[in-house]
Chain A
């Protein structure tokens, strides 16, 4: 066979059109504005820290879980506290029994904190603590625990979330009003800058905004504007910018929109450097945005949960491509429950895979130059700049939050997204498209809160017996006076109180006596949902059903929606209420953190046809039976509806306990409305 010579051939390059160059291109990593990463060689010497957020039940159980994770390749710790701890209540407080140990670990005293880190050297392991409400007692316990381990404070590494502003927008795990909360934030920053130079006293968080429904530019703008507010607050106390700015850290959520998420982290670094340069820092690290990231829990589905492995994996890759400094990857079952050891391992191994098997850490910002990524980075810088400018012009973030505008804007985005999903315009695999009836139920990890509470109560009682109550009372009085007179650093006083044996609830109450407890009002947002679904077939059906109902009963059905327990996540609560009202139901909403008796009384007063509870943290197992019996006591015939994260395995038991309708994660609200109308 004769062969033609092919020794001359060369690659044929496709024709390339000239591409737009953006203003930000040409910046690198390791020098301001840190477009391509905070460090010049990024992951080449040391990849991001694998920091899995975890905590449940008692300190002993969480401690065991942490040690297993560290043995399995995790490189940092991130503590999840239970809701009573967040809200400043001891486990023996009367109204919070349903939440003890449920979605985090219960910490009431310094002993609990010591047990949590038993066998874990705080000198060697950096610890991140998601705490925003009861920040003072928790930091005080952590500091005392370190000192008792013999670790000097200047060697402690870790992060306290301590970002109270976003709590008023989205997460609602606050205790005190805005102004008092900001004083606490600045006291902690000040204390850490003086005593704990390696510790990040704040993690300015966009994650919860993403989870609450904020699109990327809003998450970026509001988070950075929050950061700016903290900086100004700290400067007002007399600190210099370089005293604290290098230790400010951030926390972003990473959703499914792959290249937008990569670009978001790049844009965040440029914008922060720009904002901070206004303060003329001498230390370039004051311009540097370092961030933790977490994959999106909202993007996960309870349906076909193994699909979540892929979702988390893609999100984790985006975080790494964007240049995160540490990362939490969600377990596949986090849409439904606490992770089991098996699912936690898969989540952790997802990061190990990226670090060890893919070679993505071998070069900095590997998508740098990509037309798509540079365009998206530019778009986000542009859009977020404008939003930040408008916030500054409105008097800063504290005032902007007080206006209610950011909360409403995020809630609107969440409702729009819900309408897109319910109408099928946005496809979610396994939820509203490519669905099957295949049973893919997974094992659920349940926490027996009665048992946890019993243990915690016994320990508190023992604590109170063994300490000098006189010394505790004196220390708490000093804390109270410190807050009242606005004189001393509240963290310093809290450390003294913790050393004397004060509990978390006692310290929180000492401040509550001065500041009071903050509460917010919830209300539906009109028109947004309807605009998104009005052309769908399902909507027309609901409309007909409602017409029939009104012609028979003479009025629209009346529904009281409630949030009981200490959970403040209200994306679903607000979206469902807004959607049902748009569909034509008469909706009333209770404030957050209600007791069953309070909800039942309100239901009777309003003469509602149905009463619902939204539950995300498993507190429904205790609260729903109580709601039912309170309703019976008041002779109410109202239908009882339960929505939120409700494992299918609990449905029968809950129906037996008097729940008429249950709507799990991913419920289509149009279909839910139709079912409610059929049942009424």
Chain B
């Protein structure tokens, strides 16, 4: 039996014959209704894709991807200890989210080999004093990042006010001239958590980045922008998540090209809690496994996850380790170091990537045409659009067209959480004065789980 014989005895299947075969099997049922899936992004998914669907081959070079550990810093020594433990147990990149105002940056990174471990300090304050402390630390091997615009749409307020924040941001970015690595950090994760669909998330990244490019161009300071980190939220729609990141890799270069700047950008994916459930929380381990797999295949630079029980328990080593282990499994046991580029060539992923990039570009251009992201945040139209998308998705779950295992279906009705939970798994509404309506995260299962919790 030689391998060549295979090819002589069977004929290749052309798309129209394939479609005909399906139509025959449908026995009169409507092809479009039964076989075409209409996504929330407005994209029609066909039952099969072939080489004929390839307009333009979208292939990205294999990248080194890092296992990232996110650590919230409220106390520097404690956070440093957590980082060292995480590194010892497999973390390759540390993302510190620094909340404490008096954080000693040197203590925070003490003992970390900065030559082998990527360290990122995402600052949650902005002041001259803070910038001075960065200078005093002389930490030039770590990335410091900040983003007043993210802070503005997530909380509804600037650190101080728009003018001062942008001025301080400029001072911060000027640290590059002293050999530091200042970076913008675009929080698209919150956009995903709030319920924006994948295409809209892409458009928001572009609009966000464009807002800064416009500003620094007008200030004649584009040269200060050398590095951007884009934090992305990863949901459970496997191939859509892959296509989202790949579409960004098509679009970000085009935006940078328009401004004639060279900026290094990192796409940093993290599992989103939007599709997590508080009840039957162990199911979140299954969700994160596939979300992380899609992240790696998407060409993300760094990948991280959130613990399966983070909705009900405080951050704990055991659950953090589990999520890190999922990434270690992908890297060491599932061959994802070798085959990280496996999405290249896939007819379906290629089609999705094209569709996502075209549609996102259209939305982005519309935002730009209407005076850009900041203007539309201020008039509330962005927030309204995201809320509309959230509600549209929620309706699908309410109508049982979509399912969340453990929350909307296949529930373990005996499970009780109230007495064992360390925290309430629902958004706590705080009334405070804000300059704009903030973009808040919305978890799908909350709709069902809040009622269940209240009835316990």
The 4 closest A-B pairs by CB, nearest first: A28-B13, A26-B12, A11-B250, A313-B289
A4-B259, A40-B18, A364-B47 known; A349+B406 contact, CB < 8 A: yes
B60, B334, B341, B346 pick with most chain A CB within 10 angstroms: B334
- A196 to chain B minimum Cβ distance, whole angstroms, is 24
State A433–B332 Cα separation when bound (angstroms). Answer: 10
Interface string of B1-19 (1 = CB under 8 A from A): 1111111011011000110
Please state if B7 and A12 are interface contacts (CB–CB under 8 Å). Answer: no
Interface residues of B in 332-374 (CB under 8 A from A): 332-336, 339, 341-350, 357-358, 361, 364-365, 368-369, 371-372
A10, A369, A388 pick with most chain B CB within 10 angstroms: A369
Contact of A365 among B34, B48, B56, B364 (CB under 8 A): B48
Write out the residue numbers on chain B whose beta carbons fall within 8 Å of the beta carbon of A363: 37, 45-49, 348
**Among listed A158-166, A304-312, A406-414, A627-635, interface-contacting one:** A304-312
Write out the residue numbers on chain B whose beta carbons fall within 8 Å of the beta carbon of A356: 402-403, 405, 409
Please state if A16 and B335 are interface contacts (CB–CB under 8 Å). Answer: no
Please state if B282 and A309 are interface contacts (CB–CB under 8 Å). Answer: yes
State A16–B341 Cα separation when bound (angstroms). Answer: 13
A23-B6, A304-B325, A363-B48 known; A1+B22 contact, CB < 8 A: no
Total interface residues on A, CB under 8 Å, equals: 98
Interface string of B225-269 (1 = CB under 8 A from A): 000000000001111100000010111011101110000000000
Total interface residues on B, CB under 8 Å, equals: 109
Contact of B290 among A30, A259, A317, A352 (CB under 8 A): A317
A6-B365, A13-B56, A381-B3 known; A1+B214 contact, CB < 8 A: yes
Return the chain B residue nearest A350 by Cβ.
Answer: B286
A6-B210, A259-B342 known; A309+B285 contact, CB < 8 A: yes
Interface string of B297-332 (1 = CB under 8 A from A): 000000000000000000001100110011011101
Please state if A44 and B47 are interface contacts (CB–CB under 8 Å). Answer: yes
Interface residues of B in 99-122 (CB under 8 A from A): none
For residue A595, CB closer than 8 A to chain B, the reply is no
Please state if B48 and A359 are interface contacts (CB–CB under 8 Å). Answer: no
A10-B254, A256-B333, A310-B329 known; 16 new pairs, CB 8 Å cut-off, are A3-B368, A11-B250, A23-B4, A28-B13, A28-B50, A30-B25, A39-B25, A41-B25, A42-B47, A258-B339, A314-B334, A356-B402, A356-B405, A370-B345, A385-B1, A429-B325
**Among listed A371-379, A466-474, A496-504, A557-565, interface-contacting one:** A371-379
- A70 to chain B minimum Cβ distance, whole angstroms, is 13
For residue B139, CB closer than 8 A to chain A, the reply is no
A73-B410, A257-B334, A257-B335 known; A369+B46 contact, CB < 8 A: no
For residue A430, CB closer than 8 A to chain B, the reply is yes
Write out the residue numbers on chain A whose beta carbons fall within 8 Å of the beta carbon of B46: 363
Return the chain A residue nearest B48 by Cβ.
Answer: A364
State A461–B397 Cα separation when bound (angstroms). Answer: 55
A260-B335, A349-B405, A388-B1 known; A36+B48 contact, CB < 8 A: yes
- B179 to chain A minimum Cβ distance, whole angstroms, is 30
Please state if B283 and A346 are interface contacts (CB–CB under 8 Å). Answer: yes
Please state if A313 and B286 are interface contacts (CB–CB under 8 Å). Answer: yes
- B99 to chain A minimum Cβ distance, whole angstroms, is 28
B7, B17, B364 pick with most chain A CB within 10 angstroms: B7
Contact of A369 among B325, B334, B345 (CB under 8 A): B345
B37, B50, B403 pick with most chain A CB within 10 angstroms: B50
Return the chain A residue nearest B55 by Cβ.
Answer: A13
Write out the residue numbers on chain B whose beta carbons fall within 8 Å of the beta carbon of A307: 322, 325-326, 329
Interface residues of A in 113-135 (CB under 8 A from B): none
For residue B199, CB closer than 8 A to chain A, the reply is no
Please state if A26 and B51 are interface contacts (CB–CB under 8 Å). Answer: yes
Write out the residue numbers on chain A whose beta carbons fall within 8 Å of the beta carbon of B51: 25-26, 369
A10-B361, A274-B6, A307-B329 known; A366+B236 contact, CB < 8 A: no
Contact of A385 among B2, B258, B357 (CB under 8 A): B2
Write out the residue numbers on chain A whose beta carbons fall within 8 Å of the beta carbon of B326: 307, 310
State A36–B404 Cα separation when bound (angstroms). Answer: 29
Interface residues of A in 1-42 (CB under 8 A from B): 1-14, 16-17, 19, 23-33, 36, 39-42
For residue B215, CB closer than 8 A to chain A, the reply is yes
Write out the residue numbers on chain A whose beta carbons fall within 8 Å of the beta carbon of B404: 357
For residue A516, CB closer than 8 A to chain B, the reply is no
Please state if A370 and B344 are interface contacts (CB–CB under 8 Å). Answer: yes
State A310–B292 Cα separation when bound (angstroms). Answer: 10
Please state if A370 and B328 are interface contacts (CB–CB under 8 Å). Answer: no
For residue A277, CB closer than 8 A to chain B, the reply is yes
For residue A551, CB closer than 8 A to chain B, the reply is no
Q: Can you list 18 A-B contacts (CB < 8 A)?
A: A9-B258, A11-B358, A16-B57, A16-B58, A40-B47, A41-B47, A260-B335, A306-B285, A307-B326, A309-B282, A313-B290, A352-B405, A352-B410, A357-B287, A360-B238, A372-B341, A373-B346, A385-B2
For residue A436, CB closer than 8 A to chain B, the reply is yes
Please state if A372 and B290 are interface contacts (CB–CB under 8 Å). Answer: no
A72-B410, A382-B3 known; A29+B48 contact, CB < 8 A: yes
For residue A464, CB closer than 8 A to chain B, the reply is no
For residue B35, CB closer than 8 A to chain A, the reply is yes
Please state if A11 and B346 are interface contacts (CB–CB under 8 Å). Answer: no
Interface residues of A in 366-404 (CB under 8 A from B): 366-374, 381-382, 385, 388-389, 392
For residue A428, CB closer than 8 A to chain B, the reply is yes
A26-B12, A349-B286, A356-B403 known; A12+B345 contact, CB < 8 A: no
Give B contacts to A, CB under 8 Å: 1-7, 9-10, 12-13, 17-18, 21-22, 25, 34-35, 37, 39, 45-51, 54, 56-61, 89-90, 210, 214-215, 217-218, 236-240, 247, 249-251, 253-255, 257-259, 275, 280, 282-283, 285-290, 293, 317-318, 321-322, 325-326, 328-330, 332-336, 339, 341-350, 357-358, 361, 364-365, 368-369, 371-372, 402-406, 409-410, 412
Write out the residue numbers on chain B whose beta carbons fall within 8 Å of the beta carbon of A49: none
Return the chain A residue nearest B358 by Cβ.
Answer: A11
B47, B90, B240, B249 pick with most chain A CB within 10 angstroms: B47
Write out the residue numbers on chain A whose beta carbons fall within 8 Å of the beta carbon of B21: 30-31, 40
- A3 to chain B minimum Cβ distance, whole angstroms, is 5
- B423 to chain A minimum Cβ distance, whole angstroms, is 21
Please state if B361 and A9 are interface contacts (CB–CB under 8 Å). Answer: yes
Write out the residue numbers on chain A whose beta carbons fall within 8 Å of the beta carbon of B345: 19, 369-374
- A361 to chain B minimum Cβ distance, whole angstroms, is 9
Write out the residue numbers on chain A whose beta carbons fall within 8 Å of the beta carbon of B334: 256-258, 314
- A340 to chain B minimum Cβ distance, whole angstroms, is 13
State A29–B332 Cα separation when bound (angstroms). Answer: 32
State A42–B35 Cα separation when bound (angstroms). Answer: 11
Please state if A349 and B90 are interface contacts (CB–CB under 8 Å). Answer: no
Please state if A370 and B22 are interface contacts (CB–CB under 8 Å). Answer: no
Interface residues of A in 478-497 (CB under 8 A from B): none
Please state if B293 and A353 are interface contacts (CB–CB under 8 Å). Answer: no
Write out the residue numbers on chain B whose beta carbons fall within 8 Å of the beta carbon of A311: 329, 333
- B279 to chain A minimum Cβ distance, whole angstroms, is 12
Return the chain A residue nearest B368 by Cβ.
Answer: A6
- B275 to chain A minimum Cβ distance, whole angstroms, is 7
Please state if A27 and B289 are interface contacts (CB–CB under 8 Å). Answer: no
A365-B48, A371-B344 known; A4+B214 contact, CB < 8 A: yes
State A77–B57 Cα separation when bound (angstroms). Answer: 43
State A373–B90 Cα separation when bound (angstroms). Answer: 28
A4-B259, A36-B48, A438-B318 known; A427+B361 contact, CB < 8 A: no
State A579–B404 Cα separation when bound (angstroms). Answer: 48
Please state if A353 and B6 are interface contacts (CB–CB under 8 Å). Answer: no
Please state if B342 and A427 are interface contacts (CB–CB under 8 Å). Answer: no
Interface residues of A in 74-110 (CB under 8 A from B): none
Please state if B257 and A14 are interface contacts (CB–CB under 8 Å). Answer: no
Please state if A370 and B346 are interface contacts (CB–CB under 8 Å). Answer: yes
State A13–B250 Cα separation when bound (angstroms). Answer: 6
Write out the residue numbers on chain B whose beta carbons fall within 8 Å of the beta carbon of A465: none
Please state if A27 and B239 are interface contacts (CB–CB under 8 Å). Answer: no
For residue A345, CB closer than 8 A to chain B, the reply is yes
